[in-house]
Structure 1
């Protein structure tokens, strides 16, 4: 058993050299110092780990902030581009409406001018037609008047011929009737 204890102790001490810990003996009075040493090495490594974790967290936070800034800038650029597109679209629509309005105004002006020219043409056409109608009426009245005069003269001539043929008139009366039949005025004859 002694040998077993010795082997056990040798393995135990040999294992301590590999872990870089000091060998400890059971019931040692410096337990507190050893514990403090272990805690201080542990706390130093933890502090280093904590510092490294803190630095990694700061770096990650800075990366996240940069990502958020880039994302916000990207969204602002997208919004700005969309706004510019909308402005351009509305400007193009406004120009199209202006062009359409100018075409409409031009069409209205052309149709107004053509309508005015048509009305003037129609006015002169109606005026010429009325003048022609009046001239035809005057000519018709003149012709009717001449026909009536000729009819009256023919009736007078027939009455004069009847009166002369009856033989009841004096010589002087016959001459007056003949001058009337020839178209001379009775008043001129009396002079």
Structure 2
């Protein structure tokens, strides 16, 4: 309960316009997550927000602008969570330890923190090419973190690094299709997934 109160208090400290914008984004993220990109209209979001559709366009000039904002926030939530988890590790933490910690943080953000993260994963493939391209800077910034984490596993063949990054992130994101976070231990899931994925990629790493 206190976490929700803190979020509400933080938003209350914002200006009315920014608080309203965040409310709209929250509603949009939930709709995109549950219904997909094409099925959601600006009218749907405006109705739930208790506003007229033309008023919604004051905050977001188009559905495309709204989608891009949700998609970028979805990646940012995961990235911030993973970076915080890695920053909390001691400087001498080994490669395997860092990878497992990052995987736990990614799954936690994906399943537990917000509608934004799962909306990003679920509708990215549904978007027109222009909207996917608009989200690429955020995606590449996040992929760069995993490139650094996995670089020690590709010493023998650096060309395999992009493929390995895609495999790790893809495997974690795919859990949205089969994991019920209410019934699953996400840390145990992360540890199991790490065991499976890391089994054959740490041969070049001594720690």
TM-score interval for Structure 1 and Structure 2 normalised by the shorter chain = under 0.3
Q: TM-score, normalised by structure 1?
A: 0.16
Q: TM-score, normalised by structure 2?
A: 0.15
Pick the structure with more helix per residue.
1
